[in-house]
Amino acid sequence: MRQTTAYFLAQLKRAIRLLPGQVMADLLVCVCAGALACLLISQGAAAAKGSRYRIGMVGDLSASYLGYGMAAVQEMDDSRFMIELVPMSEQEAEAAFWRGELYAVMRVPEGLLESIVYGENDRLITYTATQGQQGLGTMVMGEITDLASTLVTCSQSAIYAMQRTLADQGRGEEIGRETDKLNLALINLVLSRGDFGEVEVLGYGDGLSLELYYFCGMILLFLLLSGLLNSALFVHGNGVFSCFLKARGVGAFRQILGEYPAYLMLVTMGLFILCPPLGFGLARGLLGIPEWEGMGAAPFLSFLPVLIPVAVMLAAMQFFLFEAAEGIVNGILLQLLSGIGMGYLSGCFYPSAFFPEKMRALGEILPSGAAARFMQAGALGRIPAELWAAVFGWTGVFLVLTILVRKSRMTGWL
């Protein structure tokens, strides 16, 4: 035991010697990530304010009421903040579409007006981007395009049907007045359609606001990638030293017992370097987390202990990856790929609720998924027992695997 303690103290000394470099790297990452986040947020806000999806309208646009429907969508409907209908020729639309200036093209077929007058309900043909670009944005835009198409077609159909009925009944003098009334009714319907139903946002990841969800995601991603920042501890690691330790009576288990806490210390230190700017941001209300609004840094301080088990688990995972990889370069690559891959699957970049079911299930099974759910539950102040079990279970699995790999390396099986 004396030698294990001495070995642990030596590893701790190594970690402390490496700490200044690690602190610099952590700070650099924090500054870069913060700057990038600010840039993305400000760009996103500017883009959301200033840009709309442009939809090209081509084909037979001569009918006055078609123009009226378009004007209604453009001027009165809620969708006017998101979409812009641009009348143009087919050639212009095609060129603009391939230049990426148009999100979609709606073609109004020839004789559409006649078909509507005679009660045939032809729809506008919509061209959108290819399947390869399918995503959340495409789906939302598909819905919006469909809505615009329906509004334009239906308003025309109703007006022409009403005019024809009045003409058939010999009430031609009422057509103008009734058209105005119908237009007003349609406008009212269009404008008030938001009142037809209520959309309840349940939140992400067990009921968290998007802001808190991403707050947890950001910390998780930092922890997942901390293997890269702390790789210096493994740079001079070699099998020779392990063999020497074994010859001196320090086996694989005691070696890991001496090395892992030192690595964990580096990971935890990195985390605590990240905390002051986060706490400051929260205290100043800069992060805009609704659940913690107006409470200063107090909720964050009570959230901090939740991060410790997560750090313990992810440090064990990174430790195992470094042990399993052949050489430091492979180790760093493995850390990068697994960090980004697991971060993506576990919803650090996009809320996992948007993923297909199988992908979501996979993301939840992964250690990063367990960590994400643990942090999300911790942010809400209630961590179920199964999440504790998952986090410590994964920790145990990784440490056992590390010991087995170390043993195999020393005995020449790997």
Partner 1 sequence: MDVEIKGIRKAYARKKVLTDISFSMEAGSCAAILGSNGSGKSTLLSILAGVRKADGGSFFYRGNDLLRCPGQIPKALGYVPQGDPLLEELNAWDNLRMWYDRKTLQRELAEGALKLLGIDGFLKTPVRRMSGGMKKRLSIGCAVVSRPGILLLDEPSAALDPVCKENIRSYLEVYREEGGIVLMVTHDAQDLELCDMCYILRDGTLQPWEYGGDFHKLAEKLRETPEKCI
The residues of the shown chain that bind partner 1, judged by CB under 8 A, are 2-3, 6-7, 10-11, 13-14, 17-18, 236, 238, 240-241, 243-249, 410-412
Q: Is the CB of residue 164 less than 8 Å from the CB of residue 134?
A: no
- Separation CA 72–CA 65 (nearest Å): 10
CB of 327 to partner 1, least distance (A): 14
Q: Which helix (H) or strand (E) holds 56?
A: strand 53-59
- Indicate the residue among 17 and 171 with the shorter CB distance to partner 1: 17
CB of 256 to partner 1, least distance (A): 16
- Indicate the residue among 6 and 167 with the shorter CB distance to partner 1: 6
- Indicate the residue among 144 and 410 with the shorter CB distance to partner 1: 410
In this structure, the strands spanning 83-87 and 125-127 are unpaired
**The amino acid at 260:** Y
Instruction: Identify the three-state secondary structure at position 293.
Output: coil
- Indicate the residue among 267 and 317 with the shorter CB distance to partner 1: 267
Tally Cβ neighbours within 10 Å of residue 142: 15
**DSSP assignment of 162-223:** HHHHHHHTT-GGGHHHHHHHHHHHHHHHHHTGGGSS------BTTTB-HHHHHHHHHHHHHH
Instruction: Identify the three-state secondary structure at position 57.
Output: strand
- Indicate the residue among 64 and 411 with the shorter CB distance to partner 1: 411
What angle is formed at CA 359 by the lines to CA 354 and CA 365, rounded to 5 degrees?
115
Sign of CA dihedral 8, 306, 219, 341: positive
- Indicate the residue among 1 and 202 with the shorter CB distance to partner 1: 1
Q: Is the CB of residue 69 less than 8 Å from the CB of residue 151?
A: yes
CB of 407 to partner 1, least distance (A): 11
57's tokens: 């309208």
Among all chains, which residue has been given the structure tokens 């005691």? 254
CB of 252 to partner 1, least distance (A): 11
CB of 236 to partner 1, least distance (A): 4
CB of 27 to partner 1, least distance (A): 21
Q: Is the CB of residue 148 less than 8 Å from the CB of residue 66?
A: no
Instruction: Identify the three-state secondary structure at position 288.
Output: coil
282: exposed, middle or buried (Cβ count in 10 Å: 0-12, 13-18, 19+): buried
- Indicate the residue among 21 and 381 with the shorter CB distance to partner 1: 21
Q: What is the DSSP letter of 104?
A: E
CB of 403 to partner 1, least distance (A): 16
CB of 3 to partner 1, least distance (A): 7
- Indicate the residue among 55 and 262 with the shorter CB distance to partner 1: 262
CB of 5 to partner 1, least distance (A): 10
- Indicate the residue among 269 and 289 with the shorter CB distance to partner 1: 269
